[in-house]
A and B are shown apart, each in its own frame.
Chain A
Amino acid sequence: MMQKTGVIYQGFRSEKELAEIPGVPSDERIKKGSVAFIECAQEIPCNPCEEACPYGAISVGKPITNLPKLDEDKCIGCGSCIAACPGLAIFLVNASKSKGEVSFPFEYYPLPKKGDEVDCVDREGNIVVKGKVLRIIKPPKYDATAVITVVIPIEYIKIVRSIKRLGRS
């Protein structure tokens, strides 16, 4: 039996779904620098991302079940939306340099350290490539959600969405 694709069957958004949602930036924009990549594909009642954006780049409006729409020209890639999303479905991608960068929310213990080489995983949890931790930010405002940025080969910026959980000692 062929596996049906899509978020309701597999638990992650298929490429087709990602291409259709209004939170995903264009390739041209991603090449210009850091930008939000909002993988919110279902109309659930939720809008904290809209308020979290200091630049007005994310709009949900009414009803609050609307999918968040990204204005990629207004987005400066600050990442304020990442920890605000209760669904942990917002990422930052950057393809403006020779290496790619992806930022993602991370709520496991322990955290990696800056400079660590880490196993980067795709939306299914498969380890796809090694990456290097560029930064970890966890200000009180994020309320215990850390935002990790990894440097990875540029072709992986739309694939890598987290790192493998580290073992507890």
Chain B
Amino acid sequence: MRVLHHPILGDETRKIDATIIVDGRKIPAIEGEPIAATLLSAGIKKFRETQKNHKPRGIFCAIGRCTDCVMTVDGIPNVRTCVTPVKDGMIISTQKGLGEWGGKK
């Protein structure tokens, strides 16, 4: 959910101007915001599954350190979504395990 009104920061002035495709679903986005922010705005919290036990993982640190939020973005696995900006038309998939180049998995 987006914070459209804020007592200190004021009203949101940015406009939805991009679309990303996450596991085949179109998600409205703001170009330049972190991918993780777009996903949260759409209520998506699970970003990947671990290699051995297939456990879900999401955002933890949001500063690009912990790598819990990595996904496959435009065919590149292990992209830190909390520090990678959205570009219109990005194709993103929930990463399974270590992921695969080309985004097959």
Which chain A residues lie closer than 8 Å to B16 at the CB level? none
Q: Main secondary structure on chain B at its contact with chain A? A: loop
* Distance in angstroms between the alpha carbons of A110 and B6 in the assembled complex: 8
Contact with A along B1-16 (1 / 0, CB 8 A): 0000111101000000
**Which residue of B is nearest A138, CB measured?**
B7
**A144 on the B face (CB < 8 A):** yes
Which chain B residues lie closer than 8 Å to A116 at the CB level? none
Which chain B residues lie closer than 8 Å to A43 at the CB level? none
Which chain A residues lie closer than 8 Å to B6 at the CB level? 109
Partner of A107 from the list B5, B8, B10 (CB cut-off 8 Å) is B8
**A108 on the B face (CB < 8 A):** yes
* Distance in angstroms between the alpha carbons of A41 and B59 in the assembled complex: 38
Chain B interface, number of residues (Cβ within 8 angstroms): 5
CB distance from A141 to the nearest CB of B (A): 15
Q: Main secondary structure on chain A at its contact with chain B? A: loop
Of listed B5, B7, B10, residue having the most chain A CB within 10 A: B7
* Distance in angstroms between the alpha carbons of A111 and B10 in the assembled complex: 13
* Distance in angstroms between the alpha carbons of A66 and B49 in the assembled complex: 53
**A16 on the B face (CB < 8 A):** no
**Are B5 and A168 in contact (CB-based, < 8 A)?**
yes
**Are A144 and B7 in contact (CB-based, < 8 A)?**
yes
Which chain B residues lie closer than 8 Å to A108 at the CB level? 7
Which chain A residues lie closer than 8 Å to B10 at the CB level? 144
CB distance from A59 to the nearest CB of B (A): 29
**Which residue of B is nearest A106, CB measured?**
B7
Partner of B5 from the list A110, A144, A146 (CB cut-off 8 Å) is A110
Query: Can you report 13 residue pairs joining A to B where beta carbons are below 8 Å apart?
Result: A107-B7, A107-B8, A108-B7, A109-B5, A109-B6, A109-B7, A110-B5, A111-B7, A144-B7, A144-B8, A144-B10, A146-B7, A168-B5
Question: Which chain A residues have a beta carbon within 8 Å of chain B's beta carbons?
Answer: 107-111, 144, 146, 168
